[in-house]
Chains A and B, each alone.
Chain A
Amino acid sequence: MLYLVLKAFHVTALTVWMAGMIVVPLLLTRPPAPGRERDPTTLAALRGFATRVTSPAMLATLGLGLWLAQDAGWFRASWLQLKLVLVLILTGLHGVVAGQSRRLVAEPGMPASALLRAVPWLTLACLAGIALLAIVKPGLW
């Protein structure tokens, strides 16, 4: 019962984290109107969302996920090991969003990096891989 409750919170936190990882970089990289800079208020709001919502959701996802994996004894399973690689990539991408949003708030005229523009699509790819591995649980090696 506890396992299922924790799993429900894990999926909820993951949903919030992924929403932030897709929406925040999409809005941050939206080009401003010709001849104008990005709106500082919008940038600050996006930065605030990344700090106050996405980051705690990431920590909750990771903490609950590690707890669940330990509780169920999944750490030796190949599918989980591969999933952890994708989680590592997502964690790194989260750092990119947090750092670049801070930089854009400080310098609104700065062009958004190619990596930040790619974050939503890389997030979707990792998410698809994670969902596949978590649901199918294939024996890979």
Chain B
Amino acid sequence: MGLSDPLGRLRLMGWVEGTTLLLLVGVAVPLKHLGGWPQAVSVLGPVHGLAFLAYLAAAIEAVSSGGWTRREAARLFGVSLVPFGTFLNDRWLAARAAARST
């Protein structure tokens, strides 16, 4: 998962985006509403926002560099809106990266 390769960067950003979303929804939001501790949302909200924007930039970079169908591009953007989506997508991206390197 090299950072110099757009696919590697996209996979890394996918993991970061998915992890921050899970932490936000699974930990910070319950802490705010059930534990009366809103600070976690205050911190994780912007962190997830940054991760989402970074994933978006990486996805558009990958698509702009060519070799993607419209359906594949839509899949790249759609998964960022679904919890676990970027994790589920990672296997597909890994297979694509492996196919490109052979």
Which A residues are within 8 Å of any B CB, using their own CB? 55, 58-59, 62-63, 66-67, 69-70, 75, 87-88, 91-92, 94-96, 98-100, 102-103
Contacts and interface: CB of A to CB of B under 8 A. Distances in A.
State the majority secondary structure of interface residues on B: helix
Given A66-B50, A91-B57, A99-B66, 16 more contacts: A62-B49, A62-B54, A66-B47, A75-B45, A88-B53, A88-B56, A91-B60, A92-B57, A95-B56, A95-B57, A95-B59, A95-B60, A95-B63, A98-B64, A99-B61, A103-B66
Nearest to B41: A70
Residue among B45, B54, B59, B61 with max Cβ neighbours from chain A (10 Å): B61
Nearest to A100: B64
6 contacts: A58-B57, A66-B46, A92-B57, A95-B58, A99-B62, A102-B64
A43 to B, nearest CB: 13
Interface residues of B, number: 20
Interface string B39-78: 0001001110110011011111111111000000000000
B6 interface: yes
Residue among B46, B50, B54, B62 with max Cβ neighbours from chain A (10 Å): B46
Interface of B: 6, 42, 45-47, 49-50, 53-54, 56-66
B50 A95 contact: no
Nearest to A75: B45
Residue among B49, B60, B64, B66 with max Cβ neighbours from chain A (10 Å): B64
Contacts of A100: 64-65
A112 B77 CA distance: 24
B14 to A, nearest CB: 14
A59 B46 contact: no
B64 A94 contact: no
A99 B46 contact: no
